[in-house]
Chains A and B, each alone.
Chain A
Amino acid sequence: MERQGSQFEVSVVVPSHERVTRLRWLLNALEEQTLPRDRWELVVVHDSTDGTEELVTTHPLAHAGLLRRVRLDPGTGSASRQRNAGWHATSAPLVAFADDDIRPEPTWLERLVAAAREHPGAIVQGATKPDPYEAEIMKWAPRARSIDVDPPGPHAQSCNILYPRAALEAVGGFDESIRTAGEDLDLAARVRAKTGAAYVGAPGALAYHAVDTFSLLGAVRFNKRWETLPLVFKRHPELREQLEYGVFWKRRHAFLPAAIAGAALHRRDPLFALLAVPYVLHALPHRGTHPMGRLRAAAELCGRAVVDASEMWTMAKGSVRHRTLML
């Protein structure tokens, strides 16, 4: 497995953009890794102006000679470009990608590498859970977002995943034309198609993901990033089995048009309101049985419908742009 010329077993690559404190917490967590430090290296690739450069040059991992950084022109990066720059700047035969808003457990890297040894040549995805320190927010805040992956997950998220370097070289790494979303799923699909690599999970390689909350407007804006997803599903039709009825990104999306129609038509005949029932059953948040809780859930349901509609609108635009159908 050792690659000639590399002194390390695994390279950890972290893309970062304007998230200096979260990146600091990731580096602090990497400081505590149980995998001996002579077996791994770390590269942070950033295009930030928020103090990240100072962090990556002064953090104890940098002083220990373990952390190197690649600096891109401010605002010119994307997750794909930064990850590519990162793995190109390293030499180990295994490349672990970690996002700047995760907090790995101390045994994360050791277990990821152990799984890679057990399955030579495979893509290995670790487990990702919403950070328990932010669990209350995840549970109670409307429009809270995190990542929850029981590996191997269908979307091959790159927040916590390991690739053999040979596999990355075989396909040229991430497709940098996919700037905002789906680049990880695309890479995994291309690697599997071209090299026949297995895709396995390492549940013990656990990392916790930050929880973000959004205003309604913020959530709608955030959804614009999904416009590249239809392209990925167009390129890899075999992935469509992940979609509801081969078209809808989420089950709620399949029920939303009927719900909107029901809301519009219920004045003509109240029975039309029944069209909204499947969506309500799938989308209604649980806020307890207290009347105030139910009222709050109903209010959040409206916001959720707006966010779902904006997601579908984004998918529709992406579908037109990439001449495929995904909603």
Chain B
Amino acid sequence: MKAALLNPCFFPEVKRGSERLIRELANGLVAAGHEPTLITSHPGRPSRADEDGLHVIRNWRPPDEKLRRRLYPDYLTHVPFSYASLRAGDYDIANAFYPTDALAAVRWSERAGRPAVFSYGGLPDRAVLADRRHKLSILERAVRGSAAVVTSSRTAADAMRRWLGVDARPIYPGVDLDAFAVGNGRAEEPTIFCAASPDDSRKRVGLLVSAFAHVRRERADARLVLLEPRNSDSARRNGLDGAGIELIPQVDAPSALAPTYRRAWVTALTAYREAFGLVLVESLACGTPVVGTRDGAVPEVVNGDGIGRLFDGDDERAVARALLEGFELASDGGTASACRARAEDFSSARCSREYEALYLDLLGRHG
């Protein structure tokens, strides 16, 4: 099977969740004997490369700053080139991981008579579906023109049904269980780690910092490890210079955070509207219990008291209580294995298998 994967950007330019998902999905497809090609874009000259079995076509992405300023969606300018690359290849299926790329995939699907898949990485919600010009019409075209729509969780699939009227198939993103493994190195002092970017207000790192002050009243030796913000305003706004707070550099390879997960007693994610919560699964894979918001897809991941705690709303005392309970949980000898067992439900191999099954199913239907 020749599968075209489309995403506006890729390593090394950007290393977010969707880029990691594509890389690991490609690994799984290659291992299963398929031929994945990534059609992506970058600001430089067009190029083609073979990167660990993944054929990568990088088209030129013309500057789009003016379009962004005029409230058009991000990543529009490369779409004609992505479409041309699709037309030039002999692909059996195309899977777009971004709405504007789905425009190219859907048009290709209509012309070529082959199936297009659209993977929506976020949590659909009224607040974000029409906040840019033509964003809604792009999304409508993406979801209605694709043979299948994939979301990152059941919660996101339910939201897709509620807000766009589409029945999506949930496929959880995978975690590399070899890179994130249980091991030694837990800190002597109770340590909380948060792998979310303090620059993103949706992650509510400020709430975590406020809760941490309450934790310190109970456990004066507690420490909070956060990623360094890229924006100095974020540090000031979130009060990241408080006692017991340690900032570590943001890393290019997420697996480099594995020792930090193992060092922590608890990993916290105070974000709301999470479509999945990949960092929680990475923590669980390292045997570290988690604390998260009872919102979005987080309760799907943290589905039992043996692996973590959930809190409601934005009450810093409730977050602090959950963190202190997380410390107790970390002291329980059986917690690490329970966490690891839960993380194994979210392996990269499982994710790739589910995508492969979806592709073959669609090709069977189209064939």
B-binding residues in A (CB < 8 A): 20-21, 24-25, 28, 51, 54-55, 103, 131, 133-134, 136-137, 140-141, 210-211, 213
A-binding residues in B (CB < 8 A): 70-71, 126-128, 130-134, 136, 140, 162-165
Could you give 16 example pairs across A and B, Cβ below 8 Å? A21-B165, A24-B163, A28-B162, A28-B163, A51-B165, A55-B165, A133-B126, A133-B127, A134-B130, A134-B131, A136-B131, A140-B71, A141-B133, A210-B130, A211-B130, A213-B134
Bound-state Cα–Cα, A278 to B71, Å:
30
B126:A137 contact, CB within 8 angstroms: no
B71:A28 contact, CB within 8 angstroms: no
A contact residues around B131 at 8 Å (CB) = 133-134, 136-137
A contact residues around B136 at 8 Å (CB) = 21
Bound-state Cα–Cα, A140 to B131, Å:
12
Closest Cβ of chain A to B365, distance in Å, is 21
Closest Cβ of chain A to B59, distance in Å, is 26
Bound-state Cα–Cα, A20 to B70, Å:
26
Bound-state Cα–Cα, A131 to B127, Å:
10
Q: Which residue of B lies closest to A135 (CB)?
A: B131
Instruction: Give the residue among B133, B136, B162, B163 with the most A Cβ atoms within 10 A.
Output: B133
Q: Which residue of B lies closest to A25 (CB)?
A: B126
B132:A137 contact, CB within 8 angstroms: yes
Task: Provide the main secondary structure of the chain A interface.
Answer: helix
Closest Cβ of chain B to A65, distance in Å, is 20
* Cβ-defined partner of A25 (8 Å) among B71, B128, B163: B163
Q: Which residue of B lies closest to A144 (CB)?
A: B133
* Cβ-defined partner of A141 (8 Å) among B70, B130, B140, B162: B70
Bound-state Cα–Cα, A54 to B166, Å:
12
Closest Cβ of chain A to B132, distance in Å, is 7
Bound-state Cα–Cα, A134 to B134, Å:
11
B71:A103 contact, CB within 8 angstroms: no
B126:A20 contact, CB within 8 angstroms: no
Q: Which residue of A lies closest to B162 (CB)?
A: A28
B contact residues around A213 at 8 Å (CB) = 133-134
Bound-state Cα–Cα, A203 to B164, Å:
30
B contact residues around A131 at 8 Å (CB) = 130
A141:B126 contact, CB within 8 angstroms: no
Closest Cβ of chain A to B131, distance in Å, is 6
B contact residues around A134 at 8 Å (CB) = 130-131
A133:B130 contact, CB within 8 angstroms: yes
Q: Which residue of B lies closest to A136 (CB)?
A: B71
* Cβ-defined partner of B140 (8 Å) among A21, A133, A136, A211: A21
B70:A140 contact, CB within 8 angstroms: yes
Q: Which residue of B lies closest to A132 (CB)?
A: B127
Bound-state Cα–Cα, A54 to B165, Å:
10
Closest Cβ of chain B to A159, distance in Å, is 17
